[in-house]
C-alpha cells in the first residue's frame, strides 16, 4: 500500500510517499523558516500563500524521488487538523483534488497522531500499546496509545505548550527564530543548576502541565537584570530554564507510563529533538525499566512521511474522508474524522 501524503499545517510544505506505514520511499520538505524569520514567528497568511506556490512542485518531487507515477499510488493523505486553518486547507484541498482525479481513497490525518507515527518509520519493532509524550510548538500531551488509532489523553498543558515556552525563552535571550533549537545549543554550554526556575505540579494525581509561570519567570529575570544594569550568563539561564521544563515533562511522562502498566514509551513532536529531553528520558527510562523509542532528529519536526505512516493505519481502520472533508484548527487526538 503506497500512500502519497501531504503536510501543510504550519510553515513546512511537505510531501512524502510511504509504503505500508513503515517504509519511506521519499520525503520532501520545504521549510518557510527564512520567510517568517524577519517577523519573529509564523505569519499565517504568508504561510498559506507559500504553501500554494510550492505544493505542486513538492508533490512532483516526492513522486520523482520515489521513482513512481501517480498510477502506482494507492491512496492520498493530508494533515487535516489541528493547525493554521488557511495553511491546512491548501494541503487538504490539493490532496482531495488529487484523490478525486485519480479515483483514489482520501485519508484525513491528525497532525499529532502523525508525530507519534514518525516512530513507526524509525523503529520496525514498535507496536502499540505504549505511552507517548507529544511535545510540539502548539501542544504538550501525554497520550496512552492502546492501538494505532486508539488514543486517550492522560495529561496536557493547561496553558502554554513546551515548544512555545522554549521559543519565548529563546526570544528573551535574544536568539533567532525558531528559538527552541538555538536555546538547546546554548544550554549545552551552561550550568543547569545556576537558576532555580519554578516547576508546576498539580494536585489530585493530575498529570497536566503548566508552563506559563516558568515563561513569566524568565521574562521577569531578564527584565530585572536589565533594570539593575546587571549582566547575565545566557548559557546558564538557558540550561536552567530547559532543566525546569524538561524535568516536569519527564516526571509526568514516567508516572503516566507506570500507572498504565506500559513497557514501551515513545517521544514525539518537534520538541522531541531537544537534547536535554532526550538525555533525561533515556536515563529515567533505563532506571525504571522502560524501552524508549524516539524519532531520529530528521523526523522530529513537521514532515509528510509521518502523515503517510499514520495514514496507513487510519486506512486499515476504515477511517476515510470524502470530498466534503473540512480542515479544523483544533481537534482532540482521541477523535476520528467522520
Q: Residue 190's binding partner, choosing from ligand KG4, Zn ion, none, with beta-carbon cut-off 5 to 8 A by kind?
A: none
Q: Residue 208's binding partner, choosing from Zn ion, ligand KG4, none, with beta-carbon cut-off 5 to 8 A by kind?
A: none
Q: Write each residue from 118 to 157 as x if it is in contact with ligand KG4 (CB under 6 A), else as -, in one continuous string.
A: ------------------xxx-------------------
Nearest residue to 118 (alpha-carbon basis) of 256, 285, 319, 297: 297
Q: Which stretch binds ligand KG4 (CB under 6 A): 148-156, 191-199, 271-279, 316-324?
A: 271-279
The pairing of strands 106-110 and 264-268 is unpaired
For ligand KG4, give the closer residue by CB, 73 or 271: 271
Nearest residue to 253 (alpha-carbon basis) of 156, 173, 331, 328: 156
Contact 305, 5 (CB under 8 A): yes
- How far is residue 83's CA from residue 331's CA, in Å, rounded to a whole number? 9
CA diameter of the chain: 67
The pairing of strands 2-7 and 106-110 is unpaired
Joined grid coordinates for residue 98: 488529487
Smallest gap from residue 64 Cβ to ligand KG4 (A): 25
Which of 169, 270, 295, 321 binds ligand KG4 (CB under 6 A)? It is 270
Which of 86, 295, 301, 308 binds ligand KG4 (CB under 6 A)? It is 301
Is 287 buried (19+), middle (13-18) or exposed (0-12) by CB count in 10 A? exposed
- How far is residue 52's CA from residue 1's CA, in Å, rounded to a whole number? 28
Binding flag, residue 4, ligand KG4 (CB under 6 A): no
Binding flag, residue 12, Zn ion (CB under 5 A): no
Q: Which stretch binds ligand KG4 (CB under 6 A): 26-34, 121-129, 263-271, 315-323?
A: 263-271
Binding flag, residue 264, Zn ion (CB under 5 A): no
E strand or H helix at 154: strand 150-156
Binding flag, residue 63, ligand KG4 (CB under 6 A): no
Which of 302, 308, 315, 333 binds Zn ion (CB under 5 A)? It is 302
Q: Residue 180's binding partner, choosing from Zn ion, ligand KG4, none, with beta-carbon cut-off 5 to 8 A by kind?
A: ligand KG4
For Zn ion, give the closer residue by CB, 7 or 314: 7
Binding flag, residue 136, Zn ion (CB under 5 A): yes
Backbone torsions φ then ψ of 28, nearest 5 degrees: -110, 130
For ligand KG4, give the closer residue by CB, 95 or 273: 273
Q: Kindly identify the residues of this chain, within the stretch 175-194, that bind ligand KG4 according to CB under 6 A.
A: 178-181, 184
Which residues are CB-contacts of 14 (< 8 A; sequence separation ≥ 6)? 6, 7, 8, 27, 28, 29, 30, 58, 302, 303, 304
* Interacting residues with ligand KG4 (CB under 6 A): 10, 136-138, 163, 166-167, 178-181, 184, 269-271, 273-274, 301-302
* Interacting residues with Zn ion (CB under 5 A): 136, 302
Amino acid at each position: 500500500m503506497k500512500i502519497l501524503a501531504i503536510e501543510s499545517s504550519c510553515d513546512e510544505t511537505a510531501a512524502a510517499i510511504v509504503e505500508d506505514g513503515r517504509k519511506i520511499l521519499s520525503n520532501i520538505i520545504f521549510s518557510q523558516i527564512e520567510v517568517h524569520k524577519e517577523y519573529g514567528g509564523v505569519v499565517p497568511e504568508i504561510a498559506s500563500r507559500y504553501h500554494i506556490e510550492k505544493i505542486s512542485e513538492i508533490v512532483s518531487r516526492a513522486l520523482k524521488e520515489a521513482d513512481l507515477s501517480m498510477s502506482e499510488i494507492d491512496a492520498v493523505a493530508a494533515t487535516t487538523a489541528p493547525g493554521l486553518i488557511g495553511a491546512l486547507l491548501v494541503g487538504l484541498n490539493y490532496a482531495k483534488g488529487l484523490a478525486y482525479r485519480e479515483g483514489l481513497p482520501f485519508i484525513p490525518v491528525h497532525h499529532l497522531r502523525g508525530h507519534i507515527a514518525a516512530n513507526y518509520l524509525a523503529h520496525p519493532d514498535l507496536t502499540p500499546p505504549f505511552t507517548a509524550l507529544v511535545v510540539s510548538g502548539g501542544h504538550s500531551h501525554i497520550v496512552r496509545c492502546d492501538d494505532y488509532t486508539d488514543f486517550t489523553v492522560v495529561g496536557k498543558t493547561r496553558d502554554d505548550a513546551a515548544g512555545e515556552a522554549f521559543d519565548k525563552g529563546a526570544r528573551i535571550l535574544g536568539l533567532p527564530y525558531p528559538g527552541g533549537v538555538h536555546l538547546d545549543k546554548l544550554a549545552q554550554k551552561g550550568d543547569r543548576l545556576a537558576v532555580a526556575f519554578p516547576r508546576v505540579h498539580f494536585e489530585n494525581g493530575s498529570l497536566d502541565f503548566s508552563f506559563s509561570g516558568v515563561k513569566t519567570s524568565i521574562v521577569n529575570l531578564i527584565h530585572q537584570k536589565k533594570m539593575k544594569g546587571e549582566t547575565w550568563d545566557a548559557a546558564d539561564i538557558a540550561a536552567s530554564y530547559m532543566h525546569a521544563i524538561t524535568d516536569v515533562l519527564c516526571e509526568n511522562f514516567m508516572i503516566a507510563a507506570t500507572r498504565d502498566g506500559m513497557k514501551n514509551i515513545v517521544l514525539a513532536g518537534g520538541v522531541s529533538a531537544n537534547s536535554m529531553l532526550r538525555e533525561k528520558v533515556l536515563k529515567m527510562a533505563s532506571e525504571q525499566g522502560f524501552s524508549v523509542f524516539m524519532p531520529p532528529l530528521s523526523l522530529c519536526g513537521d514532515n509528510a512521511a509521518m502523515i503517510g505512516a499514520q495514514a496507513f493505519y487510519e486506512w486499515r481502520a476504515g477511517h476515510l474522508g470524502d470530498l466534503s472533508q473540512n480542515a479544523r484548527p483544533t481537534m482532540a487526538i482521541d477523535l476520528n474524522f467522520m
